[in-house]
Amino acid sequence: MYKNFTADDTSTDIGIVTSGIWQDGASSIETFFSSSTQYTNTGDYNIDVYRYDPTNNASASVQFGVVYGNRDGSGSLGTKGATGDITTAAIFGQLNNLINPPETTTFTFQDNTTSKQAYAIVLNRARMREAIEPGGWELHLSSSKQAGAGITGSIIKLIDDSSTNNGGNSFQRNFAPEYNIVSGTLVGGTVIKTAASAEGSDGSYGTFYPSLGVLLVNPKKLATGGLGLITLSGSNSDDRNNRRFFNCIVDGQYFQMRRKEEITSTHYFVRAQSQQFNATTNETFYTQSAAGNKQVIPGLATDPKTYITTVGLYNAASELLAVAKLSQPILKSTSREALIKVKLDF
């Protein structure tokens, strides 16, 4: 009943699969919601962002988080000698510790090498799975509805520079590759409006870590680079800059992104040759006399035919390790051979 595979019957390949990262498999979303419950409890640290409004949609799930970090704790409550969690300092330390090499206390955004603050978009791990596809995302930001003085900017469109920055930046980081976030669009083919190296002393719009699922955004560039988003930096002040950045995302009304996975597949070629597998242990294949003698049912006795519905893959100890089902039974007879390719993904 078992048939051994030969060396020619198996092959393994690794394929890259990309798909929409957002809920329901969408590759772009235009609406963004936060949870009042989450924001009330931990909103000073991060804002969980949903595709659907969690207050009236039970299936709404977190898509990504938005944070603001400041090395000195500016923009959050607390300081030395005062109560408060200094949440922005905690966020800065978190990102700095994760991304930057030891003894580094600032972020580098191209020519701006001393940024002590950063916004970050952190993708939900389950949504991201393995990595974000470089060159597969575009984020629109708009500050048109921001409250406060000095808001003059219009919409900006951000992508990464992986299309021209092969292999990523060569700065020492804990995660590679690192790409720059630049102004541009994917519509009609990737177009970079201004390269990171041409952005001047304010630096690039940020850096992007596909394997980490983090977009690190440069606040200084958001203030001067067309968006006009002013990041508040009051001492011992609950400024909620992450909320202001979140509002820019809401107003931008567009976030496109794809995830990327490497899928290792093994293909098993199951060959049932003409003289094999033409009988079965299926009870309905036989009639049985009172004496217990089995006879193949009429119509199949002289011209035996069987049907394949299931393929079982076994190890040497005859343990059933994988099962493949066909969509419909396949006829097998002495005049028919069957070749079934069974794909097992890891």
Q: Between residue 45 and residue 64, which ones bind other proteins under the rule CB under 8 A?
A: none
Least Cα distance to 96 among 72, 79, 80 occurs for: 72
Residue of the chain from 185, 258, 313, 337 that contacts other proteins (CB under 8 A)? 313
Residues 269-308 that bind other proteins (CB under 8 A): 270, 272, 275-286, 292, 294-300, 304-308
Q: CA 177 → CA 165, 209, 211, 214, 221, distances in Å?
A: 10, 6, 8, 12, 22
Among 58, 147, 291, 320, binds other proteins (CB under 8 A): 320
Q: How far is the CB of 286 from other proteins (least distance, A)?
A: 6
Q: Which stretch binds other proteins (CB under 8 A): 49-57, 72-80, 130-138, 314-322?
A: 314-322
Nearer to other proteins, 170 or 295 (CB): 295
Residue 17 found at the interface with other proteins (CB under 8 A)? no
Note whether 331 binds other proteins by CB under 8 A.
yes
Position among 328, 335, 336, 337 found at the interface with other proteins (CB under 8 A) = 328
- With beta carbons less than 8 A apart as the criterion, state whether 50 and 32 touch: yes
Which residue, 197 or 288, is less far from other proteins as judged by CB? 288
Which lies closer to other proteins via its Cβ, residue 175 or residue 307? Answer: 307
Question: Closer to other proteins at the Cβ: 223 or 330?
Answer: 330
Shortest Å distance, C-beta 259 to other proteins? 20
Q: Minimal distance in Å, beta carbon 6 to other proteins?
A: 10
Interface with other proteins, residue 317, by CB under 8 A: yes
What is the smallest separation between the CB atom of 261 and other proteins, expressed in angstroms?
A: 16
Q: How far apart are CA 88 and CA 243, in angstroms?
A: 13
**CB nearer to other proteins: pick between 145 and 343:** 343
Neighbour tally for 195: CB within 10 Å: 16
Nearer to other proteins, 41 or 295 (CB): 295
Whose Cβ is closer to other proteins: residue 236's or residue 278's?
Answer: 278
Give the Cα separation of 92 and 250 in Å (integer).
23
Least distance from other proteins to the Cβ atom of residue 235, Å: 51
Tell me the CA end-to-end span of the chain in Å, nearest whole number. Answer: 27
Structure tokens at 178: 């690192």
Can you read off the two tokens belonging to residue 279?
A: 């009988």
Q: How many residues does the chain have?
A: 346
Which residue's CB is nearer to other proteins, number 149 or number 320? 320
CA atoms within 13 A on the CB side of 328: 1
* Torsion sign (Cα): 232, 234, 239, 240: positive
Contact, 293 vs 301, CB < 8 A?
Answer: no
Number of other residues whose CB lies within 10 A of the CB of residue 235: 13
Q: Does 261 bind other proteins (CB under 8 A)?
A: no
User: In a 3-state reduction of DSSP, which class is residue 259?
Assistant: strand
Burial class (CB in 10 A: 0-12, 13-18, 19+), 18: middle
Tell whether residue 103 is a contact of other proteins (CB under 8 A): no
320 exposure class (CB count in 10 Å sphere: 0-12, 13-18, 19+)? exposed
Residues near other proteins, by CB under 8 A: 1-5, 10, 266, 268, 270, 272, 275-286, 292, 294-300, 304-332, 338-345
